[in-house]
């Protein structure tokens, strides 16, 4: 049962963002302290354990009363997950990095991206150039890259467009580059000579004269990484994604959100920024529930439920093939006026060129970010199974949503487990009645072992996809959860032969390949973070299923209640990779082997603890000599 305190917190009218609107000179951190007092992070003793008693109808009704669902009707399963996430607020009201009254909401997701990193940035760039008054961008790792160039070009173009209108646009950017100064102040103001310098390479002020630009570098020492990745534009649209601002071979995922949920994400942006905003945000008194910023200078694109039903992917493929449009690249201005145009242009880039097969086309696209090209090894792609990077997931109706995130926790222990993100994941697994699907780079958090075993013993079908070798050097060290192969082996060992039949582990395989490629080779990796339970509960965002994301990093994730969106997400996941077909792990040990019984090149398999630590130490030393990243 939710405490009276939690119910009261969620039913208050005051939030960080509403109070900021009253007094934009007050910092969000000061507002949060005034509303919620000094919040102490939850400790290990606050966590009630993985197993819980079933919730009563009264419990579910309490959860219903703690959200603002508008015309939508949350399912009982959604309310179970939302209830369990809410219980953490009794310890820390801001443990989810959002004001409690805004945690439960509703909205739509007119676009989902499941594609290489740069294709997600292309959508962000289009949103930036179409901005009218305000852009709020928060990410983790930032380095010179195609991603950085696309964002920098978009900011310059936004400045040009604002100048033509005789207006100014406020832009806030936040990233994580840990340094000694953050032991004194976690939020470091970034000077123009730094953010335009060689390590960041954002535009100089004179290159974006019509933007009021501010940047903050955040890190909470030692381990409190800013791992959340999201953007809010004009308080009308928001995106939550899995990717950083860098070049790599990752497959990534983004959700584009509209409707009242944007106010919740905007509130998270304010709480995360913390410092006074100078200049203030133009949208402070224009919530998304009222349509966001009201401007008349540009043609208006239909938003929220006015978008109607999205195109089917088969139609998107045909439109892309017929259009033959040039791609948005650094240095050009192939921006689009609206979302449907973006979808068509992006699909056009993946369409076969003359004398090129479908397999060759996707191989071309997936090799772009690789240090060296990898030849295709998969069979030819049949018609109807083409790679579709942009999924048109627009619906003419909204559905329930909630933010289930976590705060940054810097202390070198795993005590800060009782947070909305973790409770939502555990509750989704605990309350599933049919199936759970997970895709994540790493899956090794301690509590997941008990949760997954319990679900399997109840007869729940568990499918999870991970990336072979993703950060093995770090995951194998003491205090972490072990490599993906080690965790899989430990999981399998705890199951009976009958229970193993319900567990389906697979290692990511690119759309053009017939086998997993170890992360060390930087050829085909996956950074998607997604959970789907019983086909209608979805959690998508920045959080990995590993020790760092479970206990330390700041994360942002959206919980949804929609069979249609979850179905399209799963279809997109399967369509844009060959993991289910070629990546299945051995049922007896959780290790991938080819048809001849040979493990993948670079695989550690299931090393003994001592051998594992030695390999891990060697790997960490090697990584320290290379370009780092999160």
Per-residue confidence (pLDDT) for residue 29, from 0 to 100 = 98
- pLDDT higher than threshold 80 for residue 629: no
- pLDDT higher than threshold 50 for residue 624: no
pLDDT band at 1 (very low <50, low <70, confident <90, very high): confident
* 169 inside domain: no
pLDDT band at 193 (very low <50, low <70, confident <90, very high): very high
Per-residue confidence (pLDDT) for residue 623, from 0 to 100 = 42
* 239 inside domain: no
Give the total number of structural domains in the chain: 1
Q: What's the DSSP call for residue 189?
A: E
Per-residue confidence (pLDDT) for residue 481, from 0 to 100 = 75
Q: Record the tokens describing residue 420, joined without a space.
A: 């909305």
Q: Residues near 517 by Cβ (< 8 Å), separated by ≥ 6?
A: 374, 468, 510, 523, 524, 525, 600
List 107's β-bridge partners, or say none: 399
Q: Record the tokens describing residue 515, joined without a space.
A: 């086998």
Contact between 116 and 252 under an 8 Å Cβ cutoff? The reply is yes
Q: Which of 69-73, 127-131, 457-461, 618-622 has the lowest mean pLDDT?
A: 618-622
Question: Average pLDDT of 277-282?
Answer: 96
Q: Which three-class secondary structure state does DSSP give residue 171? A: strand
CA pair distance 465, 585, nearest whole angstrom: 10
The pairing of strands 503-507 and 461-466 is parallel
Q: Residues near 87 by Cβ (< 8 Å), separated by ≥ 6?
A: 2, 6, 48, 423
* 72 inside domain: yes
- pLDDT higher than threshold 90 for residue 390: yes
Note the pLDDT tens digit of each residue in 287-334: 988 777 766 555 678 888 889 999 999 999 999 999 999 999 999 999
Contact between 421 and 543 under an 8 Å Cβ cutoff? The reply is yes
SS (HEC) of 303-362: CHHHHCCCCCHHHHHHHHHHHCCCCCCCCCCCCCCCHHHHHHHHHHHHCCCCCCCHHHHH
The pairing of strands 169-175 and 134-138 is parallel
pLDDT band at 49 (very low <50, low <70, confident <90, very high): very high
Question: Average pLDDT of 262-290?
Answer: 95
Per-residue confidence (pLDDT) for residue 298, from 0 to 100 = 59
Cα 601 to its chain centre, rounded Å, is 29
Contact between 241 and 252 under an 8 Å Cβ cutoff? The reply is yes
* 467 inside domain: yes
* 49 inside domain: no
Host H or E run for residue 237? strand 237-241
CA pair distance 39, 408, nearest whole angstrom: 13
Question: Average pLDDT of 422-451?
Answer: 98
* 53 inside domain: no
The pairing of strands 187-189 and 211-218 is antiparallel
Farthest CA pair distance, the chain = 70
- Tell me which of 481 and 252 has the higher pLDDT: 252
Note the pLDDT tens digit of each residue in 445-492: 999 999 999 999 999 999 999 999 998 666 676 666 799 999 999 999
* 121 inside domain: no
* 475 inside domain: yes
Domain enclosing residue 566, as ranges: 67-105+400-621
Q: Which of 276-290, 353-367, 468-482, 516-530 has the lowest mean pLDDT?
A: 468-482
Q: What CA–CA distances, in Å, run from 553 to 247, 404, 542?
A: 21, 14, 10
- What's 411's domain CATH number? 3.30.870.10
């Amino acid at each position: 049962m939710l405490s009276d305190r939690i119910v009261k917190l969620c039913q208050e009218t005051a939030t960080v963002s509403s109070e900021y609107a009253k007094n934009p000179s007050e910092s969000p951190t000061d507002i949060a302290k005034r509303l919620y007092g000094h919040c102490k992070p939850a400790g290990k003793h606050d966590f009630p354990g993985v197993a819980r008693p079933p919730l009563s109808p009264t419990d579910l009704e309490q959860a219903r009363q703690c959200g603002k669902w508008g015309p939508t009707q949350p399912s009982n399963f959604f309310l179970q997950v939302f209830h369990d996430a809410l219980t953490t607020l009794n310890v820390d009201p801001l443990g989810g990095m959002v004001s409690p009254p805004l945690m439960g909401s509703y909205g739509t997701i007119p676009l989902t991206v499941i594609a290489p990193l740069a294709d997600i940035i292309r959508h962000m760039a289009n949103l930036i150039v179409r901005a009218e008054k305000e852009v709020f961008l928060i990410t983790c790792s930032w380095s010179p890259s195609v991603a950085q160039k696309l964002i920098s070009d978009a900011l310059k173009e936004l400045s040009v467009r604002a100048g033509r209108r005789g207006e100014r646009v406020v832009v806030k950017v936040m990233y994580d580059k840990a340094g000694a100064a953050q032991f004194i102040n976690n939020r470091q103001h970034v000077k123009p000579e730094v953010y335009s310098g060689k390590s960041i390479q954002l535009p100089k002020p004179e290159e974006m004269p019509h933007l009021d630009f501010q940047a903050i570098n955040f890190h909470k020492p030692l381990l409190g990484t800013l791992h959340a990745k999201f953007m809010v534009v004009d308080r009308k649209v928001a995106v939550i994604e899995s990717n950083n601002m860098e070049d790599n071979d990752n497959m990534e995922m983004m959700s584009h959100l509209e409707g009242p949920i944007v106010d919740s994400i905007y509130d998270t942006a304010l709480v995360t920024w913390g410092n006074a905003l100078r200049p203030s945000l133009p949208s402070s008194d224009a919530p998304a529930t009222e349509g966001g910023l009201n401007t008349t200078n540009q043609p208006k694109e239909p938003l929220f439920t006015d978008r109607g039903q999205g195109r089917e992917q088969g139609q998107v493929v045909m439109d892309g093939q017929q259009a033959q449009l040039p791609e948005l690249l650094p240095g050009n201005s192939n921006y689009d006026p609206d979302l449907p145009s973006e979808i068509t242009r992006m699909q056009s880039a993946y369409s076969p060129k003359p004398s090129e097969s479908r397999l060759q086309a996707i191989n071309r696209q997936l090799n772009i970010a690789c240090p060296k090209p990898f030849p295709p090894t998969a069979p030819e792609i049949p018609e109807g199974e083409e790679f579709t990077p942009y999924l048109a997931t627009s619906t003419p109706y909204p559905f329930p949503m909630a933010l289930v995130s976590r705060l940054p926790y810097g202390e070198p222990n795993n005590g800060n487990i009782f947070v909305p993100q973790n409770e939502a994941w555990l509750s989704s697994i605990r309350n599933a009645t049919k199936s759970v699907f997970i895709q994540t780079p790493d899956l090794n958090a301690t509590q997941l072992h008990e949760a997954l075993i319990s679900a399997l013993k109840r007869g729940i079908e568990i499918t999870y996809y991970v990336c072979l070798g993703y950060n093995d050097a770090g995951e194998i060290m003491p205090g972490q959860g072990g490599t993906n192969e080690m965790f899989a082996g430990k999981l399998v060992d705890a199951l009976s032969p009958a229970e193993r039949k319900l567990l389906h582990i697979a290692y990511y395989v690119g759309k053009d390949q017939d086998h997993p490629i170890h992360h060390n080779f930087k050829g085909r990796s996956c950074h998607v973070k997604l959970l789907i339970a019983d086909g209608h509960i979805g959690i998508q965002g920045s959080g990995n299923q590993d020790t760092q994301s479970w206990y330390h990093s700041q994360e942002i994730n959206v919980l949804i209640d929609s069979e249609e969106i979850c179905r399209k997400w799963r279809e997109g996941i399967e369509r844009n990779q060959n993991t289910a077909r070629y990546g299945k792990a051995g049922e007896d040990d959780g290790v991938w082997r080819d048809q001849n019984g040979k493990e993948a090149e670079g695989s550690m398999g299931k090393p003994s603890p001592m051998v594992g630590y030695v390999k891990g130490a060697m790997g960490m030393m090697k990584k320290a000599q290379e370009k780092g990243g999160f």
